[in-house]
Structure 1
Amino acid sequence: MSGQLAVNTCSLDSFEGLHQAIRGSHVEVMQLGRGKFRGALSHVGIGDFSLSIGSFSVGVRTQRISTDDKLVVGMLLSSEDRVTHWSFDMRPADVLIMPPSTEHDGVFHGASAYAAIRLDLAEVMSLFKGEPRLSDPAAWLNKNVYHADPSIGMAATRRLPLIISRLARQQTALSDAVADFWKRSIVDAVTGTIVQSLPPDSRGLLPSAMQLVGKVDDYLDAAGLRPVHVSEICAHLNVSRRTLHRAFYEVLGLGPITYLRHKRLCAIHSALRESNPAMVTVARVAIQHGFIELGRFSHYYHSLFGEYPSETLGGRGFRARKEIDPSLAEPVPVGINTH
């Protein structure tokens, strides 16, 4: 997978601009609501994977033709009035499955915003390997809507625009590892409602909690400083999120997502401590380690270490090395991409 990142955002002054409402798909659009059309459309491309986010001020009808051979998973981010896709009514944070080569018909009766990811059906085998009911491509061949748990779904509706905003400010190419992390983060935000709707895992005997946590530690050690998404771990160990969550709480008293966040924070602390403030910024190090919301990142960092990342940058490790060689042109630690 390529780490090539492309982010495009544009304002729209007519419904015709929504013809690429989903990057790579041609969508026929008709304005239904009265009034001047105002909207915005953003696309994030990471290799051949895409996330699209659109918003518009009046009601529209959208139709996708059946020649599109990609799987599309959409989420309604907000709406002022009724929204239907096929015969399904949707509420904000609900998730829609559009199988490959299937016509799609959606009606937005008022101002709305949406997000959609478009990917090859074969990719679900790796993205959802830990969830056997989702890693089978056949599971995505039926049109469906998943209704969101408000506490989970609404968090995703806020997170997706933030990801686009932050990646749009990312001026350097992402490494393959970092690109894969953000791809998984986007997929996770869009499909979290689907994962939560699955019944408990019933595959029989599972690894003991201690063994499972140990295998995660081994995997993280092998990964080094790069960010690792929880879905990558589930895929590698072939376990569901529920199983992983249960094991981590039993052994460590915290969930795997919190544990992974602490690991990334520790990696950032070590990187900042050894880095030259003239060559490295906190924001760049944060995004390379998988943090998108810098305010929240700073809060997490301060809560864990009792200091802010700007206080750590150029700290004792860097100063000690500089004392040994005052003319040292400080190298950037492994895992921080500044090019």
Structure 2
Amino acid sequence: MSNNPAESADKTRSDGIALVKHASFKDIDRMGETLKGWEVSCTQLTRGPFQGMLTFLEQRDLQIYQLRTQQAVQVMGAKPTSRWLFAFPLVSFPQAAYSCDTSLTTDCIFGFDAHREVNHISDPHGVNLGCIGVSKSLFENYVAQAGRDDLDEAFMKRNVVVPEGTRFAPLVCYLRQLFWHSQQQPELVNAYLDAKLIEQDLLPLLINALKPRESEDSLRLYPRADIVKVAREFMAMNLQRPLTLADICQAVHASKRSLHYGFQDMFGMGPMAFLKVLRLHEIRRILLSAEPKSLQVKEVASTWGFYSMGHFSRDYKQLFGESPSQTLNR
């Protein structure tokens, strides 16, 4: 087992709270566990060794993240409720991504409804997102200064907004520069955070970008999202049962055609391939947490429905870029 899943470099305050943190990850679960205050599960969707990077900046009432992966992922679960959270692409989505069943095909800000859990599916090329977490009291102060009475609870329930005109670009440009400087000059970024200079620059840019276009025709709920969600939940509850496509269709009251197109659009694979991915992730979690001498890979694989070790080892290595025995002996 690895005791060092992430490589990181911190610049800390005297009270031990990290102001600037950079970490790289070779395991998707370890990356999810590092997100402060989040309780999320992460699923790698595309094949190959996982590589993730997290830049995290903090100033008591303000948290700023950059999250990057080279693999497509799904992130699901609870987010902090004590602050407003705003996520957005730092590079335009090359293909559709999904947030809470909404198809994201253009530059937008999403995820800020405090009453909805995270359910983000990246586009097939991976993730390059910025995320701003700001305490509700601090956000309300800046909203009042800007005279933006429209940014109320009703607005937050929208959860996704496409900014008007050129309002989005200055926000993204500022954050790209901030993340670059946090790598090159972390001490300077620390000083700016302590002096609240970043807060004073960033929050007005964010509030300015939260002005929606008059028409948001580019934002649509994906019509098959409901059946995909129910099917995924059914799979997750029955991972160790032998399931057929007919079983899943019957459970969600959907045709094979609808289910196939839904999973293909949202996850880039059919439902049975996605079921295999979920099972492989469960096996990987077991292998990573086990003592190598106390576990037989074959026994774990068969428990999760893989009875051909040849096929299992091939599928495992294609998804994670390493053999099951290599994972076990980390």
Structure-1-length-normalised TM-score: 0.50
Instruction: After TM superposition, give the deviation of residue 48 of structure 1 in Å.
Output: 3.1
179 and 27 in structure 1: CA distance in 2 versus 1, 3 angstrom threshold: farther
Which of 156, 172, 188 does residue 157 from structure 1 map onto?
172
Are 1:123 and 2:138 matched, yes or no?
yes
Are 1:7 and 2:20 matched, yes or no?
yes
RMSD: 3.3
CA deviations on 1:19-75 (whole Å, 9 max, x unpaired) are 157543232211112222222110010123100111111111111326633221111
Aligned-partner SS, 1:53:
strand
Which has the higher relative contact order, 1 or 2, with Cα contacts under 8 A spaced 6 or more apart? 2
Structure-1 residue corresponding to 2:104: 90
Which residue identity is paired with 1:49? L
Structure-1 residue corresponding to 2:162: 147
Structure-2 residue corresponding to 1:192: 208
91 and 179 in structure 1: CA distance in 2 versus 1, 3 angstrom threshold: farther
Number of residue equivalences: 197
- Consecutive unaligned residues of structure 1, counting only runs of 5 or more, are 200-339
Which of 35, 47, 68 does residue 55 from structure 1 map onto?
68
Distance 1:92 1:41 in 2: 23
Distance 2:208 2:18 in 1: 23
9 and 134 in structure 1: CA distance in 2 versus 1, 3 angstrom threshold: farther
Distance 1:11 1:150 in 2: 35
Which residue identity is paired with 1:194? L
109 and 171 in structure 1: CA distance in 2 versus 1, 3 angstrom threshold: closer
Structure-1 residue corresponding to 2:114: 100
- Consecutive unaligned residues of structure 2, counting only runs of 5 or more, are 1-12, 216-330
Which residue identity is paired with 1:183? E
8 A Cα contact 1:56 1:112, kept in partner: yes
108 and 118 in structure 1: CA distance in 2 versus 1, 3 angstrom threshold: same
Provide the identity percentage.
11
Distance 1:139 1:180 in 2: 29
Distance 1:134 1:22 in 2: 31
Structure-1 residue corresponding to 2:255: none
Instruction: After TM superposition, give the deviation of residue 81 of structure 1 in Å.
Output: 2.5
Which of 183, 188, 196 does residue 180 from structure 1 map onto?
196
Structure-2 residue corresponding to 1:45: 58
Instruction: After TM superposition, give the deviation of residue 108 of structure 1 in Å.
Output: 0.9
